[in-house]
Amino acid sequence: MSTLAALARLRALRDGTAQRLATVRHVHLSERPMVLIPLRLAGEAAAPLAVMAGTDPAHPRLLVVPQPRDRDLRFAFAAELAELLLPYIESLQKDTETVERRGAEPYERCVDAPQLIVPNRGAAAFVQLLGRSTRFRRAEGPYAVHASVPLLGRWLTFLAQRGRHPGSSLMPAATEALSLHWATGQSALEDANLASLIGWIDPPPGMTGAAAARQAEDPLIWPPAGPASDPGFDAEVLAPAIRAYEETRTEHAEARVREAVRSQLEPTWRLMWRAVGLLAALPAGPGCAGRWEADRAAFTSFAAQLAEGAPPQPRRDGAVGAASRLARMERAQASYDAQRAYDDPLVMAGYRLTGEAFTGTVAHADPERTEGEGRGRKLRPLVTVRTTDPVRLAPGTRLGTPERRGQQAELVAIDGEHVTLKIVKGMGRGMAATPGAVPGVGERVCYAALLDDFQPPAALPPPEETPWTHGGPPPEYEPPSDEEPDEEWS
């Protein structure tokens, strides 16, 4: 935890109300997000009990598996979920825009993408598990399922995997999104409880956040947001209802399970839309749109892969796939960190406290300074900034600045309160700086050792040329044959 976040938590505790950690919203919010709350049967790894989902706060759809241990019922439930989710996803694929690229063919990108908001990390993991259990199923042969089930599995897998991509907003978890913007007076572990987190941020009138959070811990008032349900409810309400269904298999018994589950999900459903409202009330950070564009591009390209009949996502990444995903994620993480700090002075303040960034006024500027001789002569303006921040950076460090995106400077020296910088990139071509590119004396500036500008990584070998050090080329994908429907479950 950063010093700034620790301070915010102490203040939250003292004042009894959550403190802001961000001045703008760093998560993109779709105009028509889908809220999805999954519940799992206790004691089973991947047995869905219910899902409450929908895009309209007034009309949640509730899907229930009256006997989650029955696999036929599970996949019937998956088909129902597909009926709910796939039309939402497909409706967003229709409108596209043409994106021009420098040095490459223009391509088509969907103008919007699905956004699945789940309550917490556990729910996101369960969505991934649900994807894992459905994407390899097939519509014909033994144990056939409805054709929409494997398709649902691929989409759930895509959304869950993309949800782990730094800066992505395709499948945010509500507790994580809220914790990014507010600090509460409780531990990070307690923040994973959606009801108590919202209690801190938005307590009912006449109540402190601390009191609201305490009340939220009573599972009778605020049932857990899933995927695990309250053990008391399981034992006293759910188990008898499922047993009754098991014995009679009547519509009446099914309705009993359904109503029991509804009572557990409806409070969370209302909380989820309150979370959406809280986030929507924050102004969007400038970097959100760019990151959402990347999400839309990922969505478009996955839809295209599906249309071309690509096989389901592999259970594990191959050697080359893993390395390339890691490179993409590292790049996205660095870029996300830099954009958040550039977009938000409060996030930048955290870096200023650790000495990785500083803010001050320009005390001296030499915009026409050059380095080198003859043809190698280059424009290298010098700027001296007076700052009272505790700068802890080594000479030679590359710095970026929120005021002039794309510009890069190099730290030359620190002398007491004076920091001297050399601008090395983004000040204009030739021997004269673009007017305004070099900050003038008296201007307030901020520089940080955070860059949102990356060299593309070196190419990886194609998978079929995986070298001997990494086990050689992987075997080609073969769909499981009908004779051996047994799957390897390791």
Partner 1 sequence: MSTAKPPAQEAAQVVDAVLADLPRHRGVVVDSPPGAGKSTLVVRAAGHLAATGDPLMIVAQTNEQVDDLIVRLAEEHPGLSVGRLSAADYAVPRRVEGKAAIGTKLPDLGDPAVVVATADKWAWAGGRTWPWAIVDEAYQMRSDKLLRVAGLFERALFVGDPGQLDPFSVVDGERWAGLSWDPLQSAVAVLLRHNPDLPVHRLPVSWRLPASAAPVVSEAFYPFTGFRAGTAPGERRLAYTADGMRTAYDHALEEAARSGWALYELPSRHTVRTDAEAVQAVAVLATRLLQRAPVAFSERGERPVTADRVAVGAAHRDQVAAIQAAGLPEGVTVDTANRLQGREYDVTIILHPLSGRRDATAFHLESGRLCVLTSRHRHACVVVARAGIPELLDAHPSAETVQLNVPVKFPDGWEANQAVLAHLSKHRVEAAPLR
Instruction: For residue 128, give every residue at least 6 positions away whose Cβ sits within 8 Å of its Cβ, in sequence order, or none.
Output: 156, 157, 160, 161
Q: Is 417 in the site for partner 1 (CB under 8 A)?
A: no
Cα distances (angstroms) measured from residue 133 to each of 14, 47, 128, 458: 46, 10, 9, 35
Q: Which is nearer to partner 1, 191 or 356 (CB)?
A: 356
DSSP, res 392? -
Least Å distance, CB 467 to partner 1, is 4
Q: Is 375 in the site for partner 1 (CB under 8 A)?
A: no
Which stretch in 99-107, 197-205, 431-439, 463-471 sits in contact with partner 1 by CB under 8 A? 463-471
Select from 5, 244, 284, 334 the one that contacts partner 1 (CB under 8 A).
334
Select from 37, 194, 298, 393 the one that contacts partner 1 (CB under 8 A).
393
Q: Is 377 in the site for partner 1 (CB under 8 A)?
A: no
Q: Which is nearer to partner 1, 50 or 319 (CB)?
A: 319
Least Å distance, CB 143 to partner 1, is 26
| Helices 71-91 & 121-134 angle (0-180, nearest 10) | 110
Instruction: For residue 460, give every residue at least 6 positions away whose Cβ sits within 8 Å of its Cβ, in sequence order, or none.
Output: 320, 323, 324
Q: Is 463 in the site for partner 1 (CB under 8 A)?
A: no
Least Å distance, CB 320 to partner 1, is 7
Amino acid at 202: D
Select from 176, 317, 366, 443 the one that contacts partner 1 (CB under 8 A).
317
DSSP per-residue string spanning 35-76: EEEEEE-TT-SS-EEEEEEES-TT--EEEE-SSTT-HHHHHH
| C-alpha span between 248 and 450 (Å, rounded) | 64
Select from 45, 58, 220, 459 the one that contacts partner 1 (CB under 8 A).
459
| C-alpha span between 324 and 100 (Å, rounded) | 25
DSSP, res 361? E
Rama region for 460: left / alpha / beta (φ>0; ψ in -120 to 50; rest) = beta
Q: Is 469 in the site for partner 1 (CB under 8 A)?
A: yes
Identify which of 467, 474, 452, 458 has the alpha carbon closest to the alpha carbon of residue 406.
452
Select from 322, 413, 432, 441 the one that contacts partner 1 (CB under 8 A).
322
Least Å distance, CB 393 to partner 1, is 7
Q: Is 323 in the site for partner 1 (CB under 8 A)?
A: yes
Amino acid at 17: T
Which stretch in 321-329, 341-349, 378-386, 439-447 sits in contact with partner 1 by CB under 8 A? 321-329
Across-strand partners of 173? 118
Cα distances (angstroms) measured from residue 169 to each of 372, 413, 417, 443: 46, 40, 40, 36
Least Å distance, CB 210 to partner 1, is 23
Which stretch in 202-210, 218-226, 278-286, 317-325 sits in contact with partner 1 by CB under 8 A? 317-325
Q: Is 124 in the site for partner 1 (CB under 8 A)?
A: no
Select from 244, 327, 346, 412 the one that contacts partner 1 (CB under 8 A).
327
Which stretch in 176-184, 203-211, 437-445, 454-462 sits in contact with partner 1 by CB under 8 A? 454-462
Q: Are 380 and 370 in contact (CB under 8 A)?
A: yes
The total of other beta-carbon atoms located within 10 Å of residue 113's CB is 26
**What's the start-to-end Cα distance of the chain, in Å?**
36
Amino acid at 326: L
Select from 250, 263, 301, 333 the one that contacts partner 1 (CB under 8 A).
333
Cis upstream peptide for 68 (omega within 30°): no
Least Å distance, CB 465 to partner 1, is 6
Q: Is 378 in the site for partner 1 (CB under 8 A)?
A: no
Q: Is 426 in the site for partner 1 (CB under 8 A)?
A: no
Residue in the block written with tokens 């241990």: 69
Contacts with partner 1, 154-193, as mask; x by CB under 8 A = ----------x-x---------------------------
Q: Give the binding site for partner 1 (CB under 8 A).
A: 3, 164, 166, 316-320, 322-323, 326-327, 329-330, 333-334, 354-356, 392-394, 457-461, 465-472
